[in-house]
Structure formats: structure tokens, C-alpha cells
């Protein structure tokens, strides 16, 4: 099966809180020699002077990220989003450095997004919007993760389009919107049609007749079609290659947005992948969606606390608290997996 970073997630057993485990793991990046090893071994850095400069920058961002994270996690929800957002922004800048775009970051240190505060109250948080600029750290992160910044550059993004990409708040979002959770299991694998013909396929177990599945809503794939011989099987175009492994990489590059695959597991650690399933022109990896969501909430804390108070006295607060409980863990999980270039999954014993 195809996962975001490899063919099989790495399982880590814990008796504690996975959030605390991730913070401990991330704290290990304080050492510049440790960072240098990750740059060389995981992110293909070779230039000694670049490794040294990048290690210093990452170490500095990490110190402030950990301080802000510790403070934000101890604060009441109403004000925690400000510190937690800036913690995530520093971690996002670390990802940008690991992604080889530290020089561009030097000229784009600002957010890259802004919140247009006005006097109009909004009955629902998902009716609100944020504006994405032309440059900035959020756009650089989008370029590192998705390979381009143009998808969201200079766009007005509705909050529901952001929240719908965060698996951990799917229940809360569906409860507020009265629309079923917008995620779908999508276990993709390579199938050899002949010795040198290969394609990707996934089976739709959730909608067995296959007819109600709209492929355009599955953000993680493109170019797939329904297999006429089996209504619940969906396949990519077939390519020729004598090497199955090379064919697999070519197919993934052409037909899968791997960064949008979300790893999940049941209590027996039977793994599966999930993709957002929604009719939207925008798609985000989970870490970018969480960063944008926290940018919006931190903007409410700074510029429109009256609106946040209205949400606190309504059902909207369930959604916001769901994000407070699960958003940080989701971001740290994706951050650590990116640094390691490996799907790592904590199982609580």
C-alpha cells in the first residue's frame, strides 16, 4: 500500500500521551549536530557551509517554538491559539529550512496571510475567511509540501475549506455543518496487468456500488477512473515499464498527491490511508490546514475577541475545542514525519 512517505508506517508503542512523546522527540532537534545529521541523511544536503547555517537557523526557531508550545498548552483555550500559532509558525519555518528554501525565507519571514477584520458578525466560524498574500512563510511551506504556491496565492479561503482537510475534527465539523464527515478510506496499491504493464488501484469499500463515489472530490488522486469490470474498483491509466518499482514511482508522481494521504490505524494497528473527500477547489496537507486554522483563531484573539466570545456561547465552541485538543497533535505528528521522511504512528498501550 502507498503511504505518504513510504510503503509501511513505523509503529512506536507508548504508555503516555502521544502529544508529550512528540514534544520530547522534537526537543531532540536542539543539538546542531543532530540537525546536521538530519539535513544530510534525510534531506540530501551536501554543502558543509549550508548545513552549518541551516542548522543554526533551525536550532533558533526550535527554541522559541518549544517555549511558545509549552506556554500555549497551559493557557485557557480563549487565548492559547495565539502562542500555539506562533509555535507552529516557527516549526513551519523549520520545515521550510529542511525543504531547502531557507534563503527564500530570509526575504519572506511574514505570515503570508491576513485576516480582514470587519464589524460584521458571522453566525458560524466556518462562514469566515482568511486572505492569502503573494509571499510569506505560509506560501513557502505550501511550496515545500505541494511543490507550488500558486494554488492558494492571493486567494480568499473559506474556513470550511480549511477545516475539512483536518481528519481529527471531522466529527465536530459534520455536527456543525450537518454534512457527513468529508474523508474517505483510499488504500492505493500497484497492480501489474502484465509483466511490463502496471497501474494503480484502490477499492471503495465504503460505497460498494461505486456509483455514488465522485472521483473529483478525492483530493489525493487525479486521473483515476472506474474499472468497468468491478464497480467499486478505481484505477489509474496503465503504463509500460519492465521495472515494477520504477513504474510505481512514475505512477505515483503522475496520479497521486502523496502529501494528502493521511495514515490511520485501528486498535489492531491495521493501517489504512484516508483522503479528504469534498467538492472544493482548494486542498491542503493536514499540517498546512492546521496552521491556517490556528492563524485564523489567533487573529480572532488579537483583533476580534467579541466574535470569539459569540462562538464560545454556541455550538461552534465544540468545533474550536476539538481543534484545540487535536490540532497541535496533528501538526506535530506531520512535522516529525516530514523531518524524518517517514510515516511514524504512535500506538497507546
Domain ranges of the chain: 14-179+282-348, 189-255
Residues of the chain with pLDDT under 50: 208-211
N residues, the chain:
349
Amino acid 104: pLDDT: 94
The CA distance from 229 to 203, in Å, is 13
Residue with cell 455514488: 212
Residues with Cβ within 8 Å of 118's Cβ and at least 6 positions away in sequence, in order, are none
Amino acid 211: pLDDT: 47
Contact of 35 with 44, CB cutoff 8 Å:
no
Amino acid 208: pLDDT: 42
Return the bridge partners of 54, or none. none
Helices (H) and strands (E) in the chain, counts: 12, 13
Return the bridge partners of 157, or none. 130
Return the bridge partners of 114, or none. 131
Residue with cell 505528528: 333
Contact of 14 with 30, CB cutoff 8 Å:
no
Residue 82 phi/psi, 5-degree rounding, is: -65, -55
Report which secondary-structure segment, H or E, holds 32: helix 32-41
Amino acid 46: pLDDT: 97
C-alpha cell at 220: 489525493
Report which secondary-structure segment, H or E, holds 329: helix 316-340
- Per-residue pLDDT tens digits for 296-336: 999 999 988 888 888 988 888 999 999 998 999 999 999 99
- Per-residue pLDDT tens digits for 53-76: 999 999 999 999 999 999 999 999
Amino acid at each position: 500500500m502507498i503511504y505518504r512517505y513510504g510503503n509501511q508506517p513505523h509503529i512506536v508503542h507508548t504508555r503516555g500521551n502521544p502529544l508529550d512523546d512528540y514534544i520530547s522527540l522534537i526537543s531532540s532537534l536542539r543539538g546542531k549536530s543532530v540537525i546536521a545529521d538530519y539535513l544530510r541523511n534525510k534531506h540530501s544536503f551536501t554543502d558543509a557551509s549550508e548545513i552549518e547555517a541551516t542548522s543554526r537557523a533551525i536550532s533558533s526557531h526550535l527554541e522559541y517554538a518549544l517555549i511558545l508550545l509549552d506556554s500555549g498548552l497551559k493557557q485557557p483555550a480563549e487565548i492559547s491559539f495565539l502562542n500555539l500559532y506562533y509555535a507552529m509558525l516557527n516549526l513551519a519555518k523549520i520545515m521550510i529550512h529542511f525543504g531547502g528554501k531557507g534563503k527564500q525565507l530570509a526575504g519572506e519571514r511574514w505570515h503570508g496571510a491576513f485576516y480582514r477584520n470587519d464589524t460584521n458578525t458571522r453566525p458560524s466560524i466556518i462562514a469566515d475567511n482568511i486572505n492569502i498574500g503573494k509571499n510569506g512563510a505560509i506560501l513557502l511551506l505550501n511550496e515545500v509540501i505541494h511543490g507550488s504556491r500558486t494554488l492558494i496565492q492571493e486567494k480568499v479561503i473559506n474556513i470550511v475549506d480549511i477545516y475539512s482537510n483536518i481528519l481529527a475534527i471531522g466529527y465536530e465539523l459534520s455536527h456543525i455543518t450537518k454534512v457527513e464527515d468529508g474523508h474517505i478510506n483510499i488504500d492505493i496499491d500497484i497492480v501489474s496487468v502484465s509483466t511490463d504493464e502496471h497501474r494503480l488501484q484502490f477499492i471503495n469499500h465504503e460505497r460498494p456500488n461505486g456509483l455514488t463515489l465522485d472521483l473529483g472530490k478525492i483530493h489525493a488522486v487525479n486521473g483515476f477512473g472506474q474499472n468497468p469490470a468491478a464497480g467499486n474498483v478505481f484505477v489509474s491509466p496503465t503504463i509500460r515499464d519492465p521495472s515494477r518499482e520504477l513504474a510505481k514511482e512514475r505512477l505515483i508522481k503522475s496520479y497521486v498527491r502523496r502529501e494528502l494521504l493521511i495514515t490511520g490505524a485501528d486498535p489492531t494497528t491495521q493501517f489504512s490511508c484516508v483522503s479528504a473527500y469534498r467538492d472544493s477547489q482548494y486542498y491542503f496537507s493536514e499540517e498546512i490546514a492546521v496552521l491556517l486554522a490556528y492563524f485564523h483563531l489567533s487573529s480572532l484573539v488579537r483583533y476580534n475577541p467579541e466574535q470569539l466570545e459569540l462562538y464560545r456561547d454556541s455550538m461552534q465552541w465544540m468545533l474550536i475545542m476539538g481543534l484545540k485538543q487535536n490540532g497541535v497533535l496533528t501538526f506535530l505528528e506531520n512535522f516529525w514525519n516530514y523531518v524524518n521522511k517517514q510515516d511514524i504512528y504512535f500506538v497507546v498501550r
